[in-house]
Amino acid sequence: MEALDLARWQFGITTVYHFVLVPLTIGLSTLVAIMQTMWFKTGNEKWLRLTKFYGKLLLINFALGVATGIVQEFQFGMNWSEYSRFVGDVFGAPLAMEALIAFFLESTFLGLWIFGWDRLPRAVHLATIWALAIGSTLSAYFIIAANSWMQHPVGAEYNPETGRAEMNDILAVLTNNTALVAYPHVISTAFLVAGTFVTGIAVFWMVKNARLDKQDPEIAIYRTAARFGAWVMIIAGAGILYTGDEQAKLMFQQQPIKMAAAEALCDTEQPAAFSILSIGHLGATDCNDVKTIIKIPGFLSYLATGDWNAKVEGLNDLQPQYAERYGATDTSGETIHYQPNLLITYWSFRLMIGLAAFSAALALAVLWFTRRGRNTDQPWLQKLALISLPMPFAAASFGWIFTEMGRQPFVVAPNPSGSDQIFLLTRYGYSTAVSAGTVLTSMITFTVVYAVLGVFWYRLMHRYASEGASPVEEPVLRDDSDESQPLSFAY
């Protein structure tokens, strides 16, 4: 493999790994903040227990999420230096803003929250978890703005003298319509992940306790958490559907070839059918032997434009259009295939949607079986909860794989209604000064380190989740005149 392929693999591995952890951090930090707020307002001990229980799981996850996030900011320069030179004038700004505006907030208040239970008045301590939640939610905004610029470059012009994209409107970059729909989609997903996480674990405990003793007062705590998470999932799910639909419509305009690939739509159709199952040689660059065996007539036209009869352009027609506009061959004279990998885009798109459906099923089942004060001891619900638990994580990953792989062969996809000079093929973005052997070393190192840390992450998450929301002591402000009083928490 060449340095380019290795750099792509490294980016894929480290980024997917990071983005498995991040949605849980973002969603769960707010959900824990809500739990702590409920305790603050009601004084009900069950909310404190839930805060501490899910708070511990949040921290285990947070540590690895932050640690793997550092790599993200550095590997652009290490493996993608030519990309960095081309986009730095635009792309660096949101990254720097993320650190300064959001990440400082998140990290500083994290320390205050963890260690502050006995040092800060309750209201102030509550504010620290909200600052943490706001910081992590805000950080995603800047990252999405940066990523959206790679999908749909705006607010910049090409400077032939420096050979790079140069920013001329920061507001345009920060209010990129791609970002404005991608951000709520990503945040809704984070809440779906966190809601499923909260409910999944709570249902496990609710059923387990109910099977031992139906009158166990502990059941009430988990019932509360299960229903709370379920409502979060319902609201987040609605948000995902709405923003996903908006995003798809926008993407049909901005990156038509990505959407055509997602649908394995080879020839232009009017009206276009939505493919539920396609078979054939999806990996091929020539998509003519793809056969769609189950489809919904007209639905693709509707998804793309809101009109059941609209024309949707297929890959065979888009390729020559792209070739004409952005070049038929690359600098070495090779034909550029503008069609992204069909197998990956087609299936990642469907897995994204399909796997998220588990959360919907879990949410509806939980709300139904716990309606009007009911408890349940149904073992199948416990199974559904455990099966559903990893699903939205996987769905979110497939969503990212779809949108990033669907952007290929571009690393910065051209904006059809913007500058025709601002785009970059992935093959011109990697670090030419770094040898394949060096990138390989780095890729293997990160993969091994991440794998080992992933094992510890899983073992700790599993261990803490299987301990349950055990009773906790009410936090008391420490008395500083008593020199021998131990801290409420220490590493």
- Tell me how far CA of residue 121 lies from CA of 31, 64, 113, 116, in angstroms: 21, 29, 11, 9
Work out whether 5 is an interface residue with another protein (CB under 8 A): no
x/- string (CB under 8 A) for another protein, residues 116-145?
x--xx-------------------------
209: exposed, middle or buried (C-beta count within 10 Å: 0-12, 13-18, 19+)? buried
The only residue of 1, 96, 277, 477 in contact with another protein, by rule CB under 8 A: 96
Work out whether 172 is an interface residue with another protein (CB under 8 A): no
C-beta of 16 vs 220, nearer to another protein: 16
The only residue of 41, 43, 45, 100 in contact with another protein, by rule CB under 8 A: 100
Query: Which contiguous run of DSSP H or E holds residue 483?
Result: none
Helix 45-79 vs helix 436-465: crossing angle, to nearest 10 = 180
Work out whether 104 is an interface residue with another protein (CB under 8 A): yes
Amino acid at 403: T
Q: How far is CA 322 from the centre of its chain?
A: 29
Work out whether 471 is an interface residue with another protein (CB under 8 A): no
What minimum distance in Å lies between the beta carbon of 432 and another protein?
A: 7
What minimum distance in Å lies between the beta carbon of 408 and another protein?
A: 22
Work out whether 453 is an interface residue with another protein (CB under 8 A): yes
C-beta of 108 vs 321, nearer to another protein: 108
Structure tokens at 103: 């990440």
45 touches 217 (CB < 8 A): no
C-beta of 82 vs 377, nearer to another protein: 82
Work out whether 175 is an interface residue with another protein (CB under 8 A): no
The only residue of 21, 22, 48, 66 in contact with another protein, by rule CB under 8 A: 66
Phi first, then psi, for residue 279 (nearest 5°) are: -125, 175
Work out whether 490 is an interface residue with another protein (CB under 8 A): yes
Work out whether 67 is an interface residue with another protein (CB under 8 A): yes
Closest among 121, 21, 108 to 63, alpha carbons compared: 21
x/- string (CB under 8 A) for another protein, residues 11-50?
----------------------------------------
Work out whether 449 is an interface residue with another protein (CB under 8 A): yes
Q: Is 189 left (phi over 0), alpha (psi -120 to 50) or beta?
A: alpha
The only residue of 5, 13, 16, 92 in contact with another protein, by rule CB under 8 A: 92
Q: How far is CA 458 from the centre of its chain?
A: 19
The only residue of 26, 90, 290, 351 in contact with another protein, by rule CB under 8 A: 90
The only residue of 13, 16, 101, 440 in contact with another protein, by rule CB under 8 A: 101
How far is 64 from 106, CA to CA, in rounded Å?
A: 14
228 touches 54 (CB < 8 A): no
x/- string (CB under 8 A) for another protein, residues 394-433?
-------------------------------------xxx
How far is 312 from 152, CA to CA, in rounded Å?
A: 20
Work out whether 464 is an interface residue with another protein (CB under 8 A): yes
End-to-end CA distance of the chain: 44
Work out whether 78 is an interface residue with another protein (CB under 8 A): yes
Q: Half-sphere exposure of 468 toward its Cβ, with a 13 Å CA cutoff?
A: 15
